[in-house]
């Protein structure tokens, strides 16, 4: 089945610069069978404590989770674990992050471009489907051999927007290539796009934010040139540049403990 590229009218307003509507047919989707939505109170028992080689991410900085491979009920899973904050004031926020990501992934159940939420193994830990494959940031890709990969990623992001959700953290380390197909991970920053009067501007801004970062991957990670309309989408106002510079240079380093 081809990736669906017909965009709903509201999405067309946010993405018309890309000209990625019905004329594009790059990429394929293999739908998954529908899966049961995990209950927020579901608990499981992890097989063992993770060894050093099991870690995919070490917690560095404020409210960062340990991410590692483990086994739950006989299957390999990825565990996002905030239990290092147990007994601290930060545990309240960590609990909220676990519940929130579980809710986001549950809304995407059956979508082949996101991992399946399996269980909340504790109030501070979430087990998710293990997606085999390299991170886009680590993959040794020849752009000539993967000419449609970036457009395929853009279409995946547009499908996410059609499901009324924005990722808000599109980067090479949050995209896994499963058999060459992009899979988005880390939905901690994802938000549900509202359908309320007066929110059209916010929705458009969030969609453009995701698309900008997808185009940055095309330009910086894959080394591919941008089309004129794509380059215009990356252009930002001077005020927005000031806000982003403040976030990247001052606020974000402090949150990461640098």
Q: Each residue of 197-224: pLDDT tens digit?
A: 877 888 888 888 899 899 988 888 878 8
Lowest mean pLDDT among 18-27, 46-55, 165-174, 178-187: 18-27
Domain count, the chain: 2
Structure tokens at 217: 């991957």
Chain-centre distance of CA 226, in angstroms? 22
Instruction: Tell me the sheet residues that pair with 135.
Output: 176
- Do 174 and 76 lie in one domain? The reply is no
Three-class SS of residue 46?
strand
91 in a domain, yes or no? yes
pTM above 0.95, yes or no: no
- Do 142 and 223 lie in one domain? The reply is yes
Contact 17, 233 (CB under 8 A): yes
Q: Which one of 94, 129, 164 terminates a domain? A: 129
20 in a domain, yes or no? yes
The number of C-alpha atoms within 13 Å of 15 and in the hemisphere containing its C-beta is: 29
Burial class (CB in 10 A: 0-12, 13-18, 19+), 32: middle
User: What does each C-alpha distance from 206 to 27, 42, 82, 167, 253 come to in angstroms?
Assistant: 24, 31, 27, 8, 23
Q: Each residue of 65-117: pLDDT tens digit?
A: 999 999 998 899 999 999 999 999 999 999 999 999 999 999 999 999 999 99
CATH number at residue 232: 1.10.510.10
Report how far residue 211's alpha carbon sits from residue 18's, in angstroms, rounded to the nearest whole number: 9
- Do 125 and 14 lie in one domain? The reply is no
Q: Each residue of 139-163: pLDDT tens digit?
A: 877 766 666 888 899 999 999 999 9
Q: Which one of 101, 129, 157 terminates a domain? A: 129
- Do 67 and 88 lie in one domain? The reply is yes
- Do 100 and 170 lie in one domain? The reply is no
- Do 18 and 137 lie in one domain? The reply is yes
Q: What confidence tier does 20 reach under pLDDT thresholds 50, 70, 90?
A: very low
- Closest by Cα among 192, 195, 193, 160 to 174: 160
210 in a domain, yes or no? yes
Q: Which one of 89, 108, 129 terminates a domain? A: 129
Residue 27 pLDDT > 70, yes or no? no
- Do 138 and 219 lie in one domain? The reply is yes
Range of the domain at 146: 9-29+133-255
- Do 117 and 152 lie in one domain? The reply is no
34 in a domain, yes or no? no
């Amino acid at each position: 089945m081809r990736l669906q590229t017909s965009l709903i009218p509201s999405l067309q307003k946010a993405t018309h610069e890309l000209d990625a509507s019905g004329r594009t047919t790059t990429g394929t989707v293999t739908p998954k069978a529908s899966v049961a939505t995990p209950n927020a109170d579901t608990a499981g028992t992890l097989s063992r404590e993770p060894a050093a080689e099991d870690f995919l991410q070490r917690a560095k900085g404020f409210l960062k989770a340990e991410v590692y491979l483990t086994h739950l009920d006989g299957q390999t899973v990825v565990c996002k674990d905030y239990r290092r904050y147990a007994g601290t004031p930060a545990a309240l926020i960590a609990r909220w992050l676990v519940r929130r990501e579980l809710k986001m992934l549950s809304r995407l159940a059956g979508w082949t471009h996101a991992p399946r939420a399996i269980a909340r193994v504790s109030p501070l830990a979430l087990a998710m489907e293990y997606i085999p494959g390299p991170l886009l940031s680590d993959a040794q890709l020849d752009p000539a051999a993967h000419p449609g990969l970036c457009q395929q990623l853009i279409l995946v992001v547009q499908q996410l927007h059609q499901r009324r959700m924005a990722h808000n953290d599109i980067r090479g380390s949050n995209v896994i290539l499963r058999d060459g197909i992009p899979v988005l991970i880390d939905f901690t920053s994802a938000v549900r796009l509202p359908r309320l009067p007066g929110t059209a501007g916010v929705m458009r801004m969030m969609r453009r934010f995701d698309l900008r970062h997808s185009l940055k991957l095309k330009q910086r990670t894959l080394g591919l040139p941008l089309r004129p309309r794509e380059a215009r989408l990356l252009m930002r106002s001077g005020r927005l540049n000031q806000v982003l510079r403040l976030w990247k240079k001052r606020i974000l380093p402090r949150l990461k403990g640098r």
